A and B are shown apart, each in its own frame.
Chain A
């Protein structure tokens, strides 16, 4: 089955700097890669996603890049703000074909923004 590795497990950056979180996946059939943000006491919140036919996607201060050849994808947060502090999870799935309707998650990155 799919295996997703995520690094680093913790990350501290100064407010205003950029943060990068990286994930690798094992199943070459995976074609959907979402990123979730989880704040204390809440469920994961979908913040951005990318499909395998796209190499990069951007939404304001957040961007995701995908390298299908190397089987890795990354989350980039620019101009970080205190409210970006949270645990971030990457995930992968192979397109919701029947019998494969699940996300495989990375182990999470605790991001701390230092004011």
Chain B
């Protein structure tokens, strides 16, 4: 089975711009979560989607949003980028609401200049 895939792998944006990141979960997985990883804050939960519904959201400003499509693929969007948004954005999937194991993709490295 193919793992979680994320595109693009690297991205450079300018302050004030917006960005959309994409995640394709493992085939058959219906839950997708997004995490931000930075050297200072570590791994922090952004939000989780299951069957196109956001079920949980972390403590991030409204500039961070996401959605999930009927095929379970997910996108996250960051508007009005700030320098502090530079991070590795990780997507993780798990099969359904009753499963525990969560599998991560390789991440998208976002640099804001």
Contact = CB atoms under 8 A, between A and B. Distances in A.
Nearest to A106: B42
Given A43-B90, A43-B106, A107-B42, A102 B101 contact: no
B68 to A, nearest CB: 13
18 contacts: A34-B101, A42-B107, A43-B104, A43-B105, A46-B104, A51-B100, A95-B100, A96-B99, A100-B56, A101-B48, A102-B45, A102-B58, A103-B43, A103-B45, A103-B102, A104-B45, A105-B42, A107-B42
Given A36-B104, A44-B90, A46-B103, A101 B43 contact: no
Contacts of B35: 103
Contacts, number: 63
Interface of B: 4, 31, 33, 35, 42-45, 48, 50, 55-56, 58, 90, 94, 97-107
What secondary structure prevails in chain B residues at the interface with A? strand
A49 B100 CA distance: 9
Nearest to A97: B97
A103 B104 CA distance: 12
Contact of B104 (A44, A93, A101): A44
A101 to B, nearest CB: 4
A108 B42 contact: yes
Interface string A73-96: 000000000000000010101011
A33 to B, nearest CB: 10
